[in-house]
Amino acid sequence: MRTFIAIELDEAIRTRLAQTAEALRGAGCKVRWVTPERMHLTLKFLGEIEPAALDAVAGAMATAAAGAGAFEIQVAGLGAFPPRGAPRVVWAGVRDPEGQLAALHGRLNEALAAAGFERERRAFRAHLTLGRVKERRGAERLRRRLDEQAGGEFGIQEVRELVCFRSELSAHGPAYTPLRRQPL
């Protein structure tokens, strides 16, 4: 089964992000926008795993969460990957002023590596994917709208748990099912 570990977003933040995505639709660029119920902050994409591996994943989540308490992140800013030229991914930024999210990600990465999962080699850049650009037509207008709204603020959220999700792909988009929850 296809899995990932993430932080669920508060409904108020998802609503504000969806409103912003709706405003960006007017740029005329073909983008597959993430629906509000599918918005989350991915900490680690695990890919295809066997159901028997869920216990190891849950153990790694518990190890990463050990000694960590709830903390706050701020969802603010808009941008795209790559940072210049035609955008491929539209994102909202995540601010981690105390570095607790980055530390949690690091502990999770190490605990999963100790459990036999591949270690993430790229630097962690916390962001929320809002959409994936499907065509270049209208990309310049989309980039301009993103630049105009780059300072958007979407809310502050308390991070209280990690969630391991199953992702089932379909023609209507992915469906996410929580498999394990780990409180901080």
Q: Can you list the residues of the chain whose pLDDT is less than 50? A: none
pLDDT in the model for residue 84: 85
How many Cα atoms sit within 13 Å of 163 on the Cβ side?
A: 16
Give the active site residue among 14, 16, 40, 166: 40
Clarify whether 127 is annotated catalytic: yes
The model's pTM: 0.93
pLDDT in the model for residue 138: 87
pLDDT in the model for residue 183: 98
Domains of the chain, CATH where assigned: 2-183 (3.90.1140.10)
Clarify whether 105 is annotated catalytic: no
| 32, 131 Cβ separation under 8 angstroms | yes
pLDDT in tens, 27-71: 889 999 999 999 999 999 999 999 999 999 999 999 999 978 999
Give the active site residue among 16, 44, 127, 166: 127
Angle between helix 139-148 and 11-25 (nearest 10): 130
